[in-house]
Chains A and B, each alone.
Chain A
Amino acid sequence: MIKISRRNALAGIAAAAAIATVSSTALAAETLRIGAIGSLSGGGTAWGLAIKRGAELAIDEVNQAGGLSVGGKNYNLELLMYDDQYTGQGGKTAAERLVFQDKVKYIVGPIGSNPVLSAMEVTTPQKVLLMSNGYTPKILDNEHKASYNFRFTLTNLEYAPSMMKWVKENLKVTKVGILVPNDAIGQSVAPPLVKLYQDNGIQTVVDYYERGSKEFSPLITRLMAAGIDGFDINFNAPGEAGLMVKQARQIGYDKLVYQMGGPSVPEIIEVAGQHSEGFISYEMFDFDAPSAQPFVKAYAAKYGKGIINSQTPAFYNATKILIEAIRRADTVDDTTKIRDAVEKLAGYDAGVYGPVRWTGKAIYGVDHQLALPFYVVEVKNGKPVTRAVLSVD
């Protein structure tokens, strides 16, 4: 019995290993794989699905148009995505598998400082391109000079200065309450945000809560007792942000509620319902813009009419930029050439955000940060209405 079970175990593992290697070589003639890493489990799942769906929509477009022709060959694109469980360890293992087992040359995702930083430890030495998003400055400002990775959404360092200018001029707040999660995002963004408020002569009251909390009334009561006239629900996950808006109104807070970052206006309207009226927010994508309609339609056709996470267009954009760079570099293997092509892609319009512009040199020492337009929206009659379109300085 023991012999059999041992042989079975070995045979099973060997067979699985064989299948994995065969499938990656035999199909390579006409299939080109794009790797993806994102959270498909736990609280970050909405973000992981945003990466998956954004990338799939971009890939579908290319395949339906007859594939990608590079170096005289025609490739059918395929997405290979692994879960990072929103942890560093998970990001590293997913990257190891994509890079060394599946021999993938470019990866979209992940989202979140922990998985991005640890995936980068694997991809950068192997010259694998990483098209990611996370709030810590270390993603671009590191010992590798971010040589093979790019960031596709703005962080507070990019948008906060012009957003603050707008807030100061239009909202006239004097003392602002801020609630942030006690996690990688909260700890990255709260200190510079507080400093920014202070530099603009606005007082702040900050409190942290454990990620996953649903009851904020005690903390909001505390902020109200401190006499705030503005409540900035800054970088909270969509569901939590929605609950903060709802609970603030329910316990009788009647002053301004707004959001300087972490955009999730549709989700907040869904969760807070009528209490979201008058809520003002930073928004990274305008789903109602005419230019966004093809994307919105394609999404609804493939994934139903649920709420579209605002990271989805960002990763649709990232994948399209990657594909265009491969086309222009005219190689599928030389990632250095492809990276150079990405850097030189200024002016290319992937269709959802307008022309590409790279920035970041002043802050991180490298121009690998995508500059995107962003919006200030206000909820009126249950709909987000754009109040201003701002840009990165």
Chain B
Amino acid sequence: MNSTAETVPVISKVRLGRSTSSALIGGGIAIVAALAIMPYLLDERFFYHIAILVCFAAIGASSLHLIIRTGHVSLCHAAFIGVGAYVSANVVMKLGFPFVGGLVAGTLAAAGLGLMIGPVILRLTGKYFVLITFLFGEILRMVFVDWQSITGGANGLSGIPAPAPVFAEPKYFYALALLAATACVAVCGRILSSETGRFVNAIRESEQLTECVGVPVIRTKVMIFVIACGFAGFAGALIAHYARYISPPNFGPLESLNLVIMNVIGGMQTLVGPLLGAIFLVLVPEFLRGYVQLQHIMFGVILILVMAFLPAGVVGVKDWVARRMIPHDRRGEQ
């Protein structure tokens, strides 16, 4: 998580230039880092499993965050995760390549598909982009169901091997997943804090204005989209070789929506948002799981409350608390 710690505050200075925000983001990173080592302290297999799910979600949500920062909300990100998962599983199981081969092929396949459709659909903006990606995700899901020779159809693919025998143990797979997630988040952070990142922010605020000052808008958007889809494919390959069984519902519209929820719940303005959102969306249902038939109702109420009172996401919790609880004269100490 070190690299995250280095990159994210840079964005915050560029974006907001407020010391309170960097403190907030520092706090967010501290939470993330503490949670990252927690499974090793508890050393329980189930906690490793949950932590691995958080890592997968973090890769998916932070790569989607790249696209969201250009002002486009994609509702087919999980479908790209699926492309990576199915390609990697096939490359390893049918063509006999080692796991690394599958990982590379899955990443490239998803990125390649992103490159094919990106230039067409990225001409749309706002709600139209949301709608077209929703439909595209549905079509990909239908392909996963119908192309039975490659995807195993609705029954899915089972018996996918672990990356190496040692990684069949969640304890060791977690190290791999944590490394992958850290690397992915670091790259996302690096991109957002680079010159490209400033283009991205400019594009979100006004495409036409950005075009006028000579920034290649479409090319930048396609590049970001392709990178994000590549990361999705990368996550998909990891998921396939961790779960060792994949089927179409894992990559359907609900999962895509979940990745969007992570961004909105966490906060769409900074990279810490999707990370907090990923943790939130994996852990909260786990805490509620014991309330067998009430768990979904409680989860729904939490979604409503967070969105109603923290429209900027969990990242905004500090501002909200500051507004309500801390007297004016003490705010300077923050």
Could you list which residues of chain A lie within 8 angstroms of chain B, going by C-beta atoms? Answer: 1-2, 5-6, 9-10, 13, 16-17, 40-41, 52, 81-83, 86-89, 92-93, 96-97, 100-101, 113-114, 117-118, 121, 136, 138, 142-143, 182-188, 210
Contact = CB atoms under 8 A, between A and B. Distances in A.
Contact of B49 (A83, A87, A93, A114): A93
Nearest to B293: A40
Q: 6 tightest CB-CB pairs across the interface, nearest first?
A: A2-B27, A101-B46, A100-B45, A184-B154, A100-B46, A87-B249
Interface in B287-328: 287, 289, 292-293, 295-296, 317-318, 321-322, 326
B148 interface: yes
A380 to B, nearest CB: 36
Interface string B234-255: 0000000001111101100000
17 contacts: A1-B326, A2-B30, A5-B318, A13-B38, A17-B42, A40-B295, A52-B292, A83-B289, A88-B156, A96-B46, A100-B45, A113-B155, A118-B243, A183-B145, A184-B247, A188-B155, A210-B142
Given A1-B321, A93-B53, A138-B158, A86 B249 contact: yes
A41 B298 CA distance: 13
Given A89-B249, A100-B45, A113-B156, 14 more contacts: A40-B293, A40-B295, A41-B296, A88-B243, A92-B245, A96-B49, A97-B46, A97-B289, A101-B46, A114-B155, A114-B156, A117-B156, A183-B154, A184-B153
Contact of A88 (B31, B146, B246): B246
Contacts of A188: 155
B148 A187 contact: yes
B159 A143 contact: yes
Contacts of A5: 27, 317-318
A9 B31 contact: yes
Contacts of A81: 292
B205 interface: no
Contacts of A1: 318, 321-322, 326, 334
A1 B334 CA distance: 8
A64 to B, nearest CB: 21
Interface of B: 23-24, 26-27, 30-31, 34-35, 38, 42, 44-47, 49-50, 53, 142, 145-146, 148, 153-156, 158-159, 243-247, 249-250, 283, 286-287, 289, 292-293, 295-296, 317-318, 321-322, 326, 334
B135 to A, nearest CB: 14
A91 B244 CA distance: 13
B153 A187 contact: yes
B249 A100 contact: no
Nearest to B246: A88
Given A187-B148, A187-B153, A83 B245 contact: no
B292 A87 contact: no
B137 to A, nearest CB: 15
A6 B289 contact: no
Contacts of B250: 87-89
B247 A121 contact: no
B15 to A, nearest CB: 19
A6 B154 contact: no
B79 to A, nearest CB: 15
Contacts of B244: 121
Contacts of A183: 145, 154
Contacts of B295: 40, 83
A194 to B, nearest CB: 15
Q: Which of A2, A9, A10, A41 has the largest number of chain B CB atoms within 10 A?
A: A2
Q: Which of A6, A10, A89 has the largest number of chain B CB atoms within 10 A?
A: A89
B42 to A, nearest CB: 6
Contacts of A142: 158-159
Nearest to B26: A2
A88 B322 contact: no
A1 B331 CA distance: 11
Contacts of A138: 155, 158
A91 to B, nearest CB: 9
A41 B259 CA distance: 19
B23 A136 contact: no
A136 B46 contact: no
A150 B68 CA distance: 47
Contact of B155 (A13, A83, A184): A184
B159 A92 contact: no
Contacts of B156: 88, 113-114, 117, 184
Contacts of A96: 45-46, 49
A240 to B, nearest CB: 16
A187 B154 contact: yes
A225 to B, nearest CB: 24
A182 B247 contact: no
Contacts of B286: 97
A158 B3 CA distance: 57
A2 B24 contact: yes
Nearest to A41: B296
Contacts of B47: 17
A208 B50 CA distance: 37
Contacts of B27: 2, 5-6
A66 to B, nearest CB: 26
A344 to B, nearest CB: 29
B258 to A, nearest CB: 11
Nearest to B42: A17
Nearest to A184: B154
A13 B41 CA distance: 13
A100 B34 contact: no
Given A40-B292, A41-B296, A117-B245, A6 B34 contact: yes
A100 B245 contact: no
B247 A114 contact: yes
Q: Which of A86, A121, A143 has the largest number of chain B CB atoms within 10 A?
A: A121
A136 B156 CA distance: 11
A114 B289 contact: no
A138 B26 CA distance: 49
A6 B26 CA distance: 11
B169 to A, nearest CB: 11
B249 A83 contact: no
Contacts of A16: 287
A82 B293 contact: no
Nearest to A3: B27
A169 to B, nearest CB: 32
A79 to B, nearest CB: 9
